[in-house]
Amino acid sequence: MNIKPYVRKANYYETDQMGIIHHSNYIRWFEEARVDYMEQLGFGYDKAVESGIDFALLNVECTYKSMVRFGDTVRIIVSIAELSKARMTVSYQVLDDKTGELRSTGTTSHCYYHQNKKRPVSLKSELPELYALFEQNIAKSPRL
């Protein structure tokens, strides 16, 4: 399966007083890209939630390399860095779409949380189809 980077144009409302994209927006972009990644896998985030599984955020990290400004288009490469039955870590690379310049890198760590059971669960047991998709694509995730 060929996963394409998530492409996004920076909006004016996302800028700060210096005219650059406010740092908090990168975290939102990571989420948008992660949701797009799952849709491309053929098992959207909405389908997981309808099945009772959510991806509780445990940790988020972002390293800023260069500025994104209003009107710039970025592509966000998503890859699964670590995968277990109970958790996963997702990696992000934000690149300028025209120049390929690295704008930021980041990771998010998640546990699989069952909404009805109100506790973390094994994704391999609860949604084996989704776990298998993650497992099949961990080595095939796009890289720089």
Q: Looking at the annotation, which residues are catalytic?
A: 16
Rounded Cα–Cα distance for residues 109 and 40 (Å): 20
Closest among 44, 106, 114, 110 to 77, alpha carbons compared: 106
To the nearest 10°, the Cα dihedral for 112, 59, 35, 101? -150
Furthest-apart CA atoms within the chain: distance in Å: 48
| CA 24 from centre of chain | 15
Q: What is the DSSP string of 96-127?
A: ETTT--EEEEEEEEEEEEETTTTEE--HHHH-
Tokens of 15: 């800028």
